[in-house]
Amino acid sequence: MDNETITEKKARPSNKTHGSKIDIGKIQELVKKVKNSELQVSEIIFLTSYPPRECGIATYSKDLERALSEKFGQSFTLKVFPLESKSERHQYPKGIEHVLNTNNALDFQKASHRINSDPNVGLVLIQHEFGLFKDSENAFLEFLEFLDKPIAITFHTILPEPTAELKRNVQRMSSLSDAIIVMTRTSAEILVRTYGVRADKITVIPHGTHLVSYENKDVLKEKYGLSGKKVLSTFGLLGPGKSIETTLTALPSIIAEFPETIFLIIGRTHPTIVKEEGEVYRDFLEAKIHELGITDHVRFINEFVPLDALLEYLQLTDIYLFTSKDPHQAVSGTFSYALSCGCPVISTPIPHALKVLQNDAGIVFDFEDSVQLGLAIVKLLENYEARHKLSLNGLNTSATSAWENSAIAHAKIFEELAKDIRLKYRKPPINLKHIKKMTTEVGMIQFSKINRPDIESGYTLDDNARALIVFCQHYQLTGHASDLKYIKIYFNFIQCCFRHDGTFLNYVDKDYQFTEQNHPENLEDACGRAIWALGYLLSIAEQFPEAYRGIEDNARFVFEEAIKEMEGVHSPRSMAFVIKGLYHYSHASDSKCMNSLVTKFADRLVQMYRHESKDDWKWFESYLTYGNAILPHAMLMAYTMTLNGDYWKIAKASFDFLLSKIMTGNSIRVISNKNWLQSDEKLDQEFKGGEQPIDVAYTILALGFFHGIFPDATYDIKMQGAFNWFLGENPLKQTIYNPCTGGCYDGLELHNVNLNQGAESTLSYLLARMAFEDFPLQ
C-alpha cells in the first residue's frame, strides 16, 4: 500500500504594494510552525503484549523498546499499544494511552482509524504469536487491510506443517505487510518454501540478548548461597512444554557422580496455565522430586525474577539445560539469554538450537531422553576445559544478538519503510568504569579477556599515556576529584618508564619488571605518545589542587628532558605525537617557546610529503597503514603555532586525501590491518576485517581539530558519522562500544566483533567520545 502523503498549501504571492504593512505576528507564527514541523519526530506504533503482562513476547518487547530508545531516541518515538483480552487486563506504566482488546473486533477498527488519522505515525510494528490473536484472526487481518501506513510484522512462531487455514492466514498477513521479521534462518526458509513468501520481504533478526559485565562465578555462587555447588539451571515461565521432568529423571545418576549438584528451576508458572489449570504441573514436579529422593538437590525459584538477578543466576550456572519437547519451537529467549551469559548449554534439537549450537557452542540431545541428558551432563561436569570452550564459543555466537544490535537491525528497516525517519545515533554518556577496572595501583593493564583484566598481559607505556590524556580530559570536563587519583597513577607509570638517557621503555610485566620486548622493538612511537600525554597534562596542571601540584613539576622535568632526546627521531608518527605534545605544552603556564622544535619536526614531515606525493597520492608515505590521521592533524597543529602556510596546505591536502580513501559520504571504513594500501594499488572496497578502534578515534580527533580551523568544510558532519562506527554504523552493523561494561571491543574481524575489551580499544573510544565535549581545540 502506498504511504499516506500530506500536502501543505503553498503561500500565494501577495498582490499588495511595497508600501503595505507587513503582519509580523503572522510571519512569526509561520516560522514557529515550520520549526515545529522540522522538530516533529516520526512515531512508530508498537502493537504487542507488554509488561506487567507476564509472557515471553512482553519481555521481548520491553527489551526491544528500551534498546531502540537508547540507541535512536532522537530519530523516532515508539508508541506502545498493548494487546489485551478478556482474561488479560493490566495497569500499564505512564505514557501508554491506548490498549487493544483482541476479543473485541471494534477495538481493531478504532485502532486502525486512530493510526491512519495521525499524520505523525510513520510505521506500525506488530509482534505476532498465534496465541495473542486467538479467536480474532479475521479481525486482525481486517485491521491490517485497513491500515494505510507501512507495516512490519515479527513472526515469533512459524509452523513448518501448517493447516490449510493457518497457511492462508500467514500468507495474507505477509502480503499485507511491507516487511517481515523472523528470528532464525530456518523460519525464513520455511516462510519462503512452505508459505510462498517473497524472500526479499524477510529479514532475520535474532532474539535479542543482554550485554553482561561478566562477574566471578564463585563470588556469585556465594552471594546466592550456592558455594561449592555444581549448578544446573533452567528458567522461564513454567509449563508442561518445558519438560522439566526430563532433567529430574536424569538427576539421580548425575548426583551419584557429583553429590554437590543442585538444579535451579527459575520462574513462575505461566499465568495462562495458572488460570486454566492452577499449579497442576508444578505439583507434579514436586511429587516427582520427592519420589526420586532428590529434594536437597532441586531448588524452585518461584517468581518472575528481576533481570539483574536472572543474569547473575545464569552467570553462576555451570551448565544450562533447555529441555523443551516442542520440535516446532522456532526460537527461545531463555536459550539465547543463557548463551549470552556464558553458560555451556545442553539442549533438545529445536531448530534454534540446531542452528546456533552447530559451532561447538553447546550439546544437543534427543527430546525427553533423560539417559542421554544425564550422560552429557556428567561428561561436561568432568571436564572444565570443555565447559570453558563451550562458554567462549557461545559468547561469540550470541554476540551479534545483543539488544543493541537488534535495535540497529530494526531501525534500518524503519528507515527504509518510513519516509520521514532518518537515523541518528544517540551518544552514550561517558563511562570510565572499564578503565578503572583495568587499572591497578601501578597502571592500566594492557589486555582483557572479554571484560576481565588479563594481568598476565602486563602494562605498556602506550596505554598509560593514552589513559593519562583521557583522565586529564575528564577532569577538565567535570572537575571530579576522583580523577586525580588515576592521573597520578598513570603519570607515575610514565615517570617510571623514563630512563636516564632521556628515552622511555614501553613494556612492563605483571611483576612490574621491564621485559625483553623493549630491546628489539623501535620504541619511538611509544616515546612520542608519552610526550603527547605529558604535554596535555602540563596544559591543564594549573587546575589541580595544591596537593597534586607536585605532579606538574615532575611532569615538566620529564617532558623537557625527553624532548631533547626526541630531536633525532624520524618516525613520522613519532614526530606527529611530539608535535601534538608540543602544541598542548604551549598552552601550559610558564612554558618555554619551542616553536623551533615544532618547525624541525614539521619540516621533516613536509620533506616526506614532497618526496612521496603525486597527483593521485597526497600522502607522507608510499602506503596508508595505521594511525594515519595523526599526520595531517599534527601538521595543522604546527600551522597554528608557526603560521607557516606550507603546513596549512599540506595538512589540508593530505587530510582530504585520507578522507577520500576511508570515508564514503559520512561513513568511515579505516584501512584494514589485514592489508595496507600501497600507492600503486587501487583501493579494494571489499570488507576484509581488521578495522581497529584506534584508527577511527585518531580520525575523529583530527576531524574535530580541522573543523575548528575550517568550520565550513563539513568536517563536523563527518566527525559525527565517523563516531557512529562505534555505535553500529560499520560493515558488520554491530556495536563496538559496550554500554554495559563501559569497554570497547578490540575491533571488527571479517565475520565477528573481537569481544575482548583491551586498554587500547577502550581508551580510543573514550578519546573519540570526549572529542564531542566542549574543549578547546585539541
Q: What is the pTM of this model?
A: 0.90
Backbone CA torsion sign across 571, 573, 576, 578 = negative
- How deeply is 225 buried, as exposed, middle or buried, from its count of CB atoms within 10 A (0-12, 13-18, 19+)? exposed
Which grid cell sits at 560?
Answer: 623537557
* 76-84/507-508 β-pairing: unpaired
Nearest to 554 by CA among 642, 472, 494: 494
Alpha-carbon gap, residue 743 to 345, rounded angstroms: 26
Nearest to 491 by CA among 443, 434, 545, 557: 443
The CA–CA distances, whole Å, from 165 to 103, 146, 188, 365, 544 equal: 20, 21, 20, 33, 75
Alpha-carbon gap, residue 491 to 650, rounded angstroms: 34
Which grid cell sits at 587?
Answer: 598552552
Q: How many CB atoms lie within 10 A of CB 458?
A: 21
Q: How many CB atoms lie within 10 A of CB 446?
A: 23
DSSP state letters, 111-138: HHHHHHT-TTEEEEEEEE-GGGGTT-HH
Assign 160 to helix, strand or coil. Answer: coil
Q: Side-chain half-sphere of 655: how many Cα atoms within 13 Å?
A: 30
Q: What is the pLDDT of residue 41?
A: 79
* 345-347/319-322 β-pairing: parallel
Question: Long-range pairs for 709-712 at CB < 8 Å and ≥24 separation?
Answer: 709/636, 709/639, 709/640, 709/777, 710/652
Residue 433 contacts residue 445 (beta carbons within 8 Å): no
Adjacency order of strands within the sheet including 42-48:
100-101, 76-84, 42-48, 121-128, 151-155, 179-182, 202-204
Q: What is the pLDDT of residue 775?
A: 63
Low-confidence ranges of the chain (pLDDT < 70): 1-40, 775-778
> 46 Cβ partners below 8 Å, 6+ apart?
61, 65, 78, 79, 80, 81, 125, 127
Which residues sit opposite 124 in a β-bridge?
Answer: 45, 151
DSSP state letters, 457-524: EEEEHHHHHHHHHHHHHHHHHH--THHHHHHHHHHHHHHHHB-TTS-B--EE-TTS-B-GGGTTS--H
Task: Report how far apart the first and last C-alpha atoms of the chain are (Å, whole number).
Answer: 51
Q: What is the pLDDT of residue 29?
A: 57
Q: What is the pLDDT of residue 24?
A: 53
- How deeply is 670 buried, as exposed, middle or buried, from its count of CB atoms within 10 A (0-12, 13-18, 19+)? buried
Ramachandran angles phi, psi of 362, nearest 5°? 175, -175
DSSP state letters, 597-661: HHHHHHHHHHHHHHHH-BTTB-SSSSEE-SSTTHHHHHHHHHHHHH--HHHHHHHHHHHHHHHHH
Which residues sit opposite 42 in a β-bridge?
Answer: 76
> 678 Cβ partners below 8 Å, 6+ apart?
622, 623
Q: How many CB atoms lie within 10 A of CB 478?
A: 12
Residue 573 contacts residue 630 (beta carbons within 8 Å): yes
Residue 673 contacts residue 614 (beta carbons within 8 Å): no
Q: What is the pLDDT of residue 131?
A: 83
Amino acid at 530: A
